[in-house]
Amino acid sequence: MSLSHQTQASALVDVRFTDAVAEITLANGPLNLVTRPMLRALDAALRAVRERSGVRAVILHGGAAKVFCAGSDIREFESLYADASEQKILFEDSVVRTLALLDVPTIAALDGAAMGGGLELALACDLRVARRGVQLGLTESRLGGLAGNGSVRLARLVGPSRAKEMLFTGAVLDADQALSWGIVNRVEDGSALAAARLLAGEIAQRGPLSNRFAKQLVDAAWDRPMDEALSLSTRLQQQIFDSEDLHEGMRAFFAKRVPAFKGQ
C-alpha cells in the first residue's frame, strides 16, 4: 500500500513523503536559482526529512522548472562584497553539508541543466540520475567566481586532472560525457525523476541499517585513515549482526519471501 504525505516547507521548496521515500522539490521559478530564501526553505525541508522516522531514501529534483538548478542568483552578488561569508558562503555551505550528511541514500534527479551551485547541490547527493542531453557544469570561472564545495566533491568523483580542466575552463558537459567521467550514475532517455523513483524504491526495499552503514563506510574511505575506516567497519559489522534486520533477512531468505525490515 502506498501512503503519501506532503509537507510544504515553503513556496520555494516542497517535501513529499511516499512510503519510505522523501522527495524534495525545488520550486524557485523557471531557473530554480539558489537564493537566500530558497536556501532557508531547503534547510527547513532537510530538517523535516531528518526528523521523520522511516525515511530510507531521498530524491532531490527540479520539479516543473526547465532546469534542475541554474545556480546562484547573480543579482545578489552586488551586495555581498564586504560580508559574503556571513551573508552567503557559510550558510550555503552549511545547507549543502546538511544534504550531504543525511544518513540515508540521496539521489539527484536531473531532468534539466545543473549549473554552478545547482551542480553543487547534485554533487552533495550520493547518486545522480540524468536525462540524456542534460548539461552539467561548474561554470563559476566564466564570471571570475569559484565553485567552493563543488570543487572538492567534483575532484573526489573524477580525480584532480579532470576536475581542474572543468573548473579552469568552466566547461559544460552533456549527460553522456558526465556518465563516462563518473559524475552521474545513470543516463535515461526518458524522465530522470521516474528513473530516480524506481531506484529509490529499490533502495528502500533493502536493509535500512545496511544502507546507512554502507554510506558511512564509503564516506569514511575518503575522509579517514585506512585503519580508522577499517575499525569503523568492524564496529558497524557487529551492529549489523546484533540487529533484528539481519535475522529477518535470513528468515525471509529461507522462507522465500520478501523481508520486512524495520531498521532495528
pLDDT at 3: 43
Report the chain (264 residues): mean pLDDT per 10 consecutive residues.
48 94 96 91 96 96 95 64 61 91 97 96 98 95 86 94 96 97 97 98 94 94 91 92 86 88 82
Topology of domain 208-255 in CATH is Lyase 2-enoyl-coa Hydratase; Chain  A, domain 2 (1.10.12)
pLDDT at position 62: 96
For the chain, domain boundaries? 4-205, 208-255
Domain 4-205 CATH (choose: 3.40.710.10, 3.30.830.10, 3.40.50.1100, 3.90.226.10): 3.90.226.10
CA distance 82 to 86: 9
Say if residue 225 is exposed, middle or buried (CB neighbours under 10 Å; 0-12, 13-18, 19+): exposed
Amino acid identity for residue 26 in this structure? L
Residue 257, number of CB atoms within 10 A of its CB: 9
Residues in the chain: 264
Is residue 116 exposed (0-12), middle (13-18) or buried (19+ Cβ within 10 Å)?
A: buried
Q: Could you tell me which residues are beta bridge partners of residue 194?
A: none
pLDDT at 248 (0 to 100): 82
Grid coordinates representing 52 are 521523520
> In the prediction, which pLDDT does 127 show?
98
- What is the distance between the alpha carbons of residues 56 and 103, in angstroms, rounded to a whole number? 9
Q: Are strands 135-137 and 173-174 parallel, antiparallel or unpaired?
A: antiparallel
Q: Is 242 helix (H, G, I), strand (E, B) or coil?
A: coil
Distance of alpha carbon 233 from the chain centroid: 23
What pLDDT does 7 receive?
52
pLDDT tens by residue, 78-127: 555 555 555 566 888 899 999 999 999 999 999 999 999 999 999 999 99
Separation CA 16–CA 123 (nearest Å): 22
Cα–chain center distance at 170 = 22
DSSP letter at 125? S
Among 123, 107, 127, 105, smallest CA distance to 115 is for 123
Active centre residues (catalytic): 120, 140
How many CA atoms are closer than 13 Å to the CA of 17, on its beta-carbon side?
Answer: 17
| Residue 2 pLDDT | 42
